[in-house]
A and B are shown apart, each in its own frame.
Chain A
Amino acid sequence: MGRRILVIEDQEQNLYLMKYLLEASGYDVVQARDGKEGIAAARTERPDLILLDIQLPTMSGHEVARALRTDPGLSAVPIVAVTSYAMPGDREEAVDAGCTGYLEKPIDPDTFVAEVAGYMQQDPRRSEAAPAGHEGETE
């Protein structure tokens, strides 16, 4: 398939797990361990989808999502938040911040790749899903 996925995740085992599962299904995985690195990678690598951990050091996933959405070149890329079920409000906030959707941790290895693929196919609808307000901020 050769499609490129950027995984922004600080936790080594999770990063390895997602990378392994995605690569096993033929995806090209680019990894980043914090928000700043992730934004930089997104700009240079131009991924087809971004998997974004919400609990990141220094810069939260929500901030990263907002930053990504302000980049006109990235405004159309699906961003899937990987949220913790334990934190109330995380998912809703992720969508507010401009994420296309969310996956819950712990990820289910049996369904993970299929779910990610599902979001990638939502491409045509994505621009509607992204809140206009966030895009408007930069204009």
Chain B
Amino acid sequence: MGGSWRGSRRSDRRGRTVDPKFFWLAFFLFAFLCVPVAAEQLVRVGVYDNPPKVAIDEDGTVSGLYPDLLEYIAAKEGWTLEYVPGTWTESMERLDRGGIDVMVDVAFTAPRRELYAFNNETVLVNWGTVYTRPGLKILSLPELEGLRVTVMAGSTHTVDPGGIVDLAERFNIRCTFVEFDSYEEVFQALASGRADAGVVNRVFGLVFEAEYGVERTPIVFNPIELRFAFPLDDPLTPLLIPRIDHRLEQLKADPDSVYYRALDEYLLETPKRETVIRWPTWLLPGLLAAGAIIAVLVAAVLIVRREVRERTRAEEAHRRSEERFELAMRGANDGLWDWNLTTGEVYYSPRWAQMLGYDVDELERTIETFHDLVHLDDRERLRAEEADYLEGRTDRYQVEFRMRHRDGTYRDVLSRAFVVRGEDGTPLRFVGTHVDISERKYAAQQLEEAKEKAEAADRLKSAFLATMSHELRTPLNSIIGFTGILLQRLAGPLTEEQAKQLGMVQTSARHLLDLINDVLDISKIEAGQLEIFPEPFDLPDLIRELTDVARPMAEGKGLELRVDVDPAVGTIRSDRRRVGQILTNLLSNAIKFTEAGHVRVACTEAGADVLLSVEDTGIGIGKEDLAKLFVPFQQIDTGLTRKYEGTGLGLSICKRLSERLGGRIEVESEPGRGSVFTVRIPKGS
């Protein structure tokens, strides 16, 4: 009607100059005429109670986002609306069997498209969201196992493919579903603890979660587009759909429109504003009472002022609502995509786009958008996985691939998805999530690289040490051998100086040999190459043998060397050579670090083990040094190195050998008083 009015004004102007008085007169005549003409077109609207999208009061008053939109459109189109309230199920039955011309808030799903006509412009995008009773925290779908889950009967989030019942079945989750007629009852059941979890749409949830004190979970599913639904074969349907689409398109293009105001008013928690502009009630009496021009001017001024104020508030509120929703999605950190395989259209969530540095509005809603951003090397594999899954060759879709970020870098993405099939098994929708696993992958890769490097370096070190110590041994054989021959005067007499100097060569050569042997032992132990050859041997015998070797060294320093072996100790089964190596090391240490007093070797039985201890009255070890005592190349206090010759490897070898033999080594010490090293070794079978 508005359109025809504008057309008539234009033709008047084109025809001849019109007196402004006539123009205004014509305008009002038209305005009054419009009302009765429009009233003839009755539109019956199915409504159910699902606040804030559509709500029915106790006295039958209908309000909410959909009524606001429809009332605006009806005013513009000259329709009279008649609300037909009912439950969701009743309303949908009316849509089937007649009784309403349009139903609000219907999810645009494949099965429903077979049954009803839909307008093209989506009013809202919504998700199913899982809430829990106060105090119960769950983070993932499988945690619903065994719980009482309340749902709304007939809701797309309940019954449709991709709805909670379907999801539970798909993931093999056994839970008890309890059906209610409204989301309010779902929340009431949760608040009172009569149910553990419940499913509502996210719009309802965000608005009412605080009021009921229920817990929102990160589980969101079934992204749906809500539209108006119409009876398929009603003659009114082809008339209503283009008009509603046309109006919705206009409204969505205008940030000040009733559409955005309604979104803000109903989808935010902010207290509902009292001052909602109602054109017909405010404007008409004003016109009648005070005269047209003034009224219009006054109205215009008021409206502009109000609009500016409203707009500022509305924009702020709208921004906050979007932020909050984004936040909820980010909590799950998943980007969503929903590929309608029938139309080819793909829904991408803001987080999906943001993961790749885009704003969702910048992206074409086609699958090419997705595929083109996938790394060239991964694309074929991804397509193959998609095809395999959609064609039923695989029963699970979980793929990792790289996607190009706007900044040119690639992100590792983990995609999980499932297909929604029609009754004949045709895939209808392919719905999935994206998680950015770049950091996880990078960290794992770094760790693996570092580990490989360390292992390679370690192998190289061990191989190097083994080779070096072997190669160093060959020349030492000659040095030690021939100095020995000379010192034994086998090759002829020596002067005193010659003997003294050759003695120094021999001592140094032997020390070098010890060092090489120790390094080799450590490298073999660390490379896990040290072989143990257990055999039965007489332990007291071994102790006697080794103490006899050490006795001259001890007595040379004026130390007493005592040996106390418990008569109960006899034959044990262990590696004789290694046990001997440990004892020799401990003995030579004890003698080396003791200037006066005694060194005592003791051996006793302790259950299945033997305890072999070497006690001295030497310089002892400070508490702070005990910890590094068994660390390779750490001879305590470098100052001692000069005084006490040694490789700094002896004790770390003793420790490792003891452990390799299935035992352990312990030390007790007090600076200035002496030390006791005790080795515990299993007697063996």
Q: How many residues of B contact A (CB 8 A)?
A: 25
Interface membership of B524, Cβ < 8 A: yes
> Could you say which of B473, B478, B481 has the most chain A C-beta atoms within 10 Å of its C-beta?
B481
Interface string of A82-94 (1 = CB under 8 A from B): 0011111100100
Q: How many residues of A contact B (CB 8 A)?
A: 20
Q: Which residues of chain A come closer than 8 Å to B476, judged between CB atoms?
A: 106
Q: Which residues of chain B come closer than 8 Å to A21, judged between CB atoms?
A: 481, 485, 490
- B484 CB contact (under 8 Å) in A11, A88, A110: A110
Is B529's CB under 8 angstroms from A88's CB? Answer: yes
- B469 CB contact (under 8 Å) in A11, A86, A88, A92: A86
Is B473's CB under 8 angstroms from A88's CB? Answer: no
Q: A13-B478, A85-B517, A88-B529 are in contact. Are A20 and B473 (CB under 8 A)?
A: no
CB distance from A43 to the nearest CB of B (A): 29
Q: Which residues of chain B come closer than 8 Å to A105, judged between CB atoms?
A: 473, 477
Query: Which A residue's beta carbon lies closest to that of B517?
Result: A85
- Which chain A residues (37-83) contact chain B, with CB distance < 8 Å? none
Across the A-B interface, give the 8 residue pairs with the lowest CB-CB distance, nearest first: A109-B484, A106-B477, A86-B470, A17-B481, A24-B490, A13-B478, A109-B481, A106-B480
Complex Cα spacing A24 to B481, Å: 13
**Interface of chain A, main secondary structure:** loop
Q: Which residues of chain B come closer than 8 Å to A11, judged between CB atoms?
A: 474
Is B490's CB under 8 angstroms from A107's CB? Answer: no
- Which chain B residues (489-530) contact chain A, with CB distance < 8 Å? 490-491, 513, 517, 520, 524, 529-530
A residues sitting closer than 8 Å to B (CB atoms) are 11, 13-14, 17, 20-21, 24, 84-89, 92, 105-110
Q: Which residues of chain B come closer than 8 Å to A88, judged between CB atoms?
A: 524, 529-531
Complex Cα spacing A17 to B473, Å: 15
Complex Cα spacing A84 to B476, Å: 12
- Which chain B residues (446-503) contact chain A, with CB distance < 8 Å? 466, 469-470, 473-474, 476-478, 480-485, 488, 490-491
Number of A-B contacts (CB under 8 A): 60
Q: Which residues of chain A come closer than 8 Å to B530, judged between CB atoms?
A: 88
Q: Which residues of chain A come closer than 8 Å to B469, judged between CB atoms?
A: 86
Query: Which A residue's beta carbon lies closest to that of B471?
Result: A86
Interface membership of B27, Cβ < 8 A: no
- B477 CB contact (under 8 Å) in A13, A87, A92: A13
Q: A17-B478, A84-B473, A89-B531 are in contact. Are A106 and B466 (CB under 8 A)?
A: no
Complex Cα spacing A17 to B483, Å: 11
Known: A20-B491, A86-B470. 12 other contacts (CB 8 A): A13-B478, A17-B478, A17-B482, A21-B481, A84-B473, A105-B473, A105-B477, A106-B476, A106-B513, A108-B480, A109-B484, A110-B484
Query: Which A residue's beta carbon lies closest to that of B520?
Result: A86
Interface membership of B537, Cβ < 8 A: no
Complex Cα spacing A87 to B474, Å: 13
Interface membership of B5, Cβ < 8 A: no
Query: Which A residue's beta carbon lies closest to that of B533?
Result: A92
Complex Cα spacing A110 to B490, Å: 11
Provide a sorted-by-A list of 8 A–B residue pairs whose CB atoms are within 8 angstroms. A13-B477, A17-B477, A20-B491, A24-B488, A84-B473, A105-B473, A109-B483, A109-B485
Is A17's CB under 8 angstroms from B485's CB? Answer: yes
Complex Cα spacing A113 to B601, Å: 31
Q: Which residues of chain B come closer than 8 Å to A14, judged between CB atoms?
A: 477-478, 481
Query: Which A residue's beta carbon lies closest to that of B469?
Result: A86
Complex Cα spacing A25 to B679, Å: 41
Complex Cα spacing A86 to B524, Å: 9
CB distance from B553 to the nearest CB of A (A): 15
- B520 CB contact (under 8 Å) in A24, A85, A107: A85
CB distance from A65 to the nearest CB of B (A): 19
Q: Which residues of chain B come closer than 8 Å to A108, judged between CB atoms?
A: 480, 484
Q: A86-B470, A88-B530, A88-B531 are in contact. Are A20 and B490 (CB under 8 A)?
A: yes
Q: Which residues of chain B come closer than 8 Å to A87, judged between CB atoms?
A: 470
Q: Which residues of chain A come closer than 8 Å to B491, judged between CB atoms?
A: 20
